[in-house]
Amino acid sequence: MIFRKLRVALVLMAALLSLACATPEPYDPLLGPKLSGDKSAPLGGNALAERRGEMRRASRDLANFYSTLVDLRRRRDAVGHRHFKRFVDTYMVEHLDPMIAREWQSEHPALAGIDANLRVMKAALLIQMGEPYRVQPVIDELARRFLGRSRILVTYPSGTQVTIKKAIQILQDRKWRVGRLET
């Protein structure tokens, strides 16, 4: 009787173990499936064009969000700024962060510039949102991912193109300058 229960338990454990091993990718409960660089990287064709399109749309969205936050700040609309800040924060967490979490696109020649631009825009948005403590990790990640490639051009939110190195310097200088709006 004990051996029968032990055998059933072993069979169940083996079945569970085989299911766990059958999962193709590691899974993170917060980020979803962890993509392992080379396996899931679309290197060309329709997948690459689709990724580039998604990233360009996100870049346009971030530029519009930046303009809106600047305008709300100019009008001293603290309530509107607070509500829009919440919306932008949700957009970044749900759409932008998963999009730029993958390591491979920072190294892909066709996507590296757009990826760098998204990261610079994210940092600039965080500055406009009055979140200087959240800016530094974005700057550090930007510097880490593009180490040795600091001459890639990015469009800073003001509309001018600068190198990543110059963009990082501008972000470092500005992160403490924009204060909070009074409610």
Cα separation of 167 and 155, whole Å?
9
What are the CA-CA distances from residue 8 to residues 1, 12, 13, 14 (Å)?
11, 6, 9, 10
Q: Which residue has the tokens 């996507």?
A: 111
pLDDT: is 44 or 70 the higher one?
Answer: 70
pLDDT reported for residue 12:
55
- For residue 34, give the nearest of 43, 42, 25 by alpha carbon: 25
Q: Which residue has the tokens 């310097």?
A: 169
pLDDT reported for residue 127:
92
pLDDT: is 125 or 160 the higher one?
Answer: 125
pLDDT reported for residue 118:
93
Q: Where do the H-state alpha helices sit in 92-158?
A: 97-100, 104-107, 112-128, 132-145
89 in Cβ contact with 97 (< 8 Å): no
Cα separation of 148 and 143, whole Å?
9
Q: What is the mean pLDDT of residues 24-31?
A: 45
Cα dihedral sign, 150-155-156-159:
positive
pTM for this predicted structure: 0.72
pLDDT reported for residue 33:
47
39 pLDDT band, cuts 50/70/90, is very low
Q: Which residue has the tokens 């060309």?
A: 44
Residue-wise pLDDT tens digits, 87-133: 999 999 999 999 999 888 888 888 888 999 999 999 999 999 988 88
- Listing DSSP states for 54-101 in one string gives HHHHHHHHHHHHHHHHHHHHHTT-HHHHHHHHHHHHHHIIIIIHHHH-
72 pLDDT band, cuts 50/70/90, is very high
Which tokens belong to 154?
């990015």
